[in-house]
Amino acid sequence: MSFWDVNVTLMKGLVVSVELFFLTLLFAIPLGLVICLGSMNGWRPLRFLAGRGRSGGARAVCGALGSFMPVRAVCRLVVWIIRGTPLMLQILVVYFGPGLMFHWPLLPRFTAALLTFVINYACYFSEIYRGGIQAIPRGQYEAGQVLGMTRAQTFFHVILLQLIKNVVPPMGNELITLVKDTALVRVISVYELIWMGESFIRKGFIWPLFYTGVFYLAFSGLLTLLLGWFEKKLSYFRA
C-alpha cells in the first residue's frame, strides 16, 4: 500500500463528501427561504412585499396566509426541534425511523443523509435569512414606495443586495461547519472521507484516518478564500 493508493482511496471519499456538501446547499438555500418566510409570517414589511392590496385570488390567498398564524407556529416548532437535537441523531432517525415505525423500505443511504442535511441546514439558513431581512431598515422599503417603485422592484433593486451582504458572513460560518458535518453520515455507512480513512485501520494503518484532516483543511481553506473574496466584492457599501 503506497501513499499514492491512500490518496486515491481518500479522494473517492472526498468526492462523496463534496457531493453531499453541494447538493445540501442546492436544496437547503431555497428551502431555508421558504421556512424563513413561514416563520416571519405576519411581520409588517414582509406583508408589504407579499402584497396587501393585490387583486382577486392572489389577495385572498395572501390574506388567508397573513392571518393564518399556525404557519408561523409550525415553522418555528420545526426550527426548534431541528436546531435542538444532534444532527447525528437526526440522520439515524431519518434512515431507520420510517422502516421501524411504518415498515417502509429503507431509503438509499446517501439519499437519507442528504435529506437530513437539507432539512437541518435549511432551518439554520432560515434563521440567518430572518436576521438579514430584519436588519434592513424599514425606511428602505418606504423609500422605494414613495418613489413609486413596485414591490417587486423594491425587492430586487433595493433590498436583495443588502440582504445578501447581511447574510454572507453568517452563511460563511455555516458552510464551514457543513464541510465538517459531512463526516457525520459515516454513522449510516455512507462511504465518505472519514469512512474511507477508517477503512485502512483493518489493514493496520491509523495514519490515513488522521491524514483525512488535510483534505478537510484544504476544502475549508478554499471555501474561506472564496467567501473572503465575495465579502470584499460587497464591501464598497455599508448597508
Partner 1 sequence: MPILEVQNIHKRFGRTEVLKGIDFSLEQGQVLSIIGSSGSGKTTLLRCITQLEQADRGRIIVSGRTVFDAGEALTLTKEEKRQRQLTFGMVFQSFHLFPQYNVLENVTLATRLHARELPDFSARKAEILSEIDREARELIASVGLSEKLKNYPCELSGGQQQRVAIARALAMKPQILCFDEPTSALDPELTGEVLSVIKSLANRHMTMIIVTHEMRFAREVSDQVLFMDGGHIRARGTPEEIFLHPEDPRLRDFLGSFQDRGL
Site for partner 1, rule CB under 8 A = 51, 53-55, 137, 139-140, 142-151, 153, 157-158, 161-162, 165, 236-239
Shortest separation between residue 49's beta carbon and partner 1, angstroms? 12
In terms of CB distance, is 157 or 180 closer to partner 1?
157
Shortest separation between residue 162's beta carbon and partner 1, angstroms? 6
Shortest separation between residue 52's beta carbon and partner 1, angstroms? 9
In terms of CB distance, is 23 or 158 closer to partner 1?
158
Q: Which residues are CB-neighbours of 227 under 8 A, at least 6 positions away?
A: 168, 172, 175
Q: Which residues are CB-neighbours of 113 under 8 A, at least 6 positions away?
A: 20, 91, 95, 185, 188, 190
Shortest separation between residue 133's beta carbon and partner 1, angstroms? 16
User: Using CA atoms, how far apart are residues 239 and 165, in angstroms rounded to an integer?
Assistant: 8
Shortest separation between residue 84's beta carbon and partner 1, angstroms? 35
In terms of CB distance, is 67 or 189 closer to partner 1?
67
Nearest to 116 by CA among 73, 85, 77, 74: 85
Helices 207-233 and 160-181 cross at an angle (nearest 10°) of 180
In terms of CB distance, is 4 or 229 closer to partner 1?
229
Shortest separation between residue 135's beta carbon and partner 1, angstroms? 12
In terms of CB distance, is 2 or 55 closer to partner 1?
55
In terms of CB distance, is 85 or 153 closer to partner 1?
153
In terms of CB distance, is 101 or 146 closer to partner 1?
146
